[in-house]
Amino acid sequence: MGRWPWRDWGSALWHSLAWAVFGAAYVGAVVFVSSRPGATAGAVLLVLAAGSRLSAYIGATVGEIGLLRGFWLDSSRRMAWLEDYAASMTEHADARPPSLVEGIRFEHVAFAYPGTSRRVLDDVSLDLWPGSVVAIVGENGAGKSTLVKLLCRMYQPGEGRILVDGVDLARIPADEWRSRLAGAFQDFFRFEFLVQHTVGIGDVPRLDDQPGVAAAVNRAGADDVVERFAAGLETQLGATWPGGVEVSFGQWQKLALARGFMRDHPLLLVLDEPTAALDGARVVEVGSHEALMAKRGQYAELYGIQAAAYK
């Protein structure tokens, strides 16, 4: 049998203690009422009924306290882990971010996520040249997003190293390195701020730079999203807020992409499937399969691409 985590033993002890106190008080109340001169059966029954109802309230209260206690302990444990992990990322960081003249090199990089033994990346070596546009292509689970996370120094390689102009990326302070990066990720966060700040947070010092935000929105092709809002960049996002508007998942992703374009001259622009959830375009063609194939339009082209994969 598996061993209980220490927090479960603590919760069990807390429950036992609470019920022991209640049981002692309950028995004491029954004895006190029944031993009084002139005590009636009705009085005793009333105490029993009240105790039964009270036990239900206490049970619910103890359960809520246990839940909150467990939540607090889990949150504290995760925060402590995060602090330790952040400290480990800066332990040997003594180099300044280079200017990216020679480029970035992956040398025999291997990586497995914490708590697992399966390698997501294994013996990866590649060069990313300055000024180049590089596309990482592969099936789901091939490690594309993992490679990007290593490049952004969200994780450290388990084996091998990543060199930036010949300097080990592990020696560059994570916050300084990330301040030179820009981009958008497929697992973006939905900031329910004003549109201005939802986009502007991509470059915090320019949070209130309206022309800068407007330029980022334009770069991301998100003008159509902002134009639908009556208040434009001053629109509150999120229907749960007073006056807030509901936003589709695709619109959120366009705003996240705009946020990634806030920095005008980043050292490195990283885009991890930034358009995977964009809303579909208008209806282009309508008709039967035969009619659409005869038309030789977009439907016929897409059908041909799919059919070719099975030949």
Which amino acid, 222? A
104-179 and 182-271 in the same fold: yes
Position 243, amino acid: G
**Of 62-66, 108-112, 163-167, 242-246, which range is least confident?**
62-66
Q: In the sheet that 121-128 helps form, which strands lie side by side, from edge to edge?
A: 121-128, 104-111, 159-164, 167-168
Q: Higher model confidence: residue 64 or residue 11?
A: 64
pTM over 0.85: no
Highest mean pLDDT out of 135-144, 221-230, 302-311: 221-230
In one letter, which amino acid is 276?
A: A
Please report, for residues 129, 200, 256, the alpha-carbon distance to residue 232 in angstroms, rounded to integers and kept in the order given. 39, 14, 16
**pLDDT tens figures, 2-28:** 444 545 555 566 667 666 776 677 667
In this prediction, residue 125 has a pLDDT band, given cuts at 50, 70 and 90, of very high
Can you give the residue ranges of every domain in the chain?
6-89, 104-179, 182-271, 281-311
The closest of 8, 178, 13, 153 to 89, measured between CA atoms, is 153
CATH 3.40.190.10 corresponds to the domain 182-271: no
State residue 174's pLDDT score.
87
What pLDDT shows up at residue 4?
45
pLDDT of residue 8: 56
Q: What mean pLDDT value characterizes the chain?
A: 82
User: Average of pLDDT values for 151-158?
Assistant: 91
Check residue 166 and report its DSSP letter: T
- Measured CA to CA, the distance from residue 292 to residue 10 in angstroms comes to 67
Confirm if 241 and 192 have CB atoms less than 8 A apart: yes
What are phi and psi for residue 128, nearest 5 degrees? -115, 110
Q: What pLDDT score was predicted for residue 110?
A: 96
Q: Write down the residue that tokens 């039964």 correspond to.
A: 52
Q: Which 3 state secondary structure label does DSSP give 159?
A: strand
Q: Higher confidence at residue 157 or residue 36?
A: 157
Q: Which has the closest alpha carbon to 16: 78, 47, 59?
A: 59
In terms of pLDDT, which residue wins out, 96 or 122? 122
CATH architecture of 104-179: 3-Layer(aba) Sandwich (3.40)
- Is a pLDDT exceeding 60 seen at residue 186? yes
- Is residue 95's pLDDT more than 60? yes
Q: Which of 142, 106, 137 is nearest to 124 (CA)?
A: 106
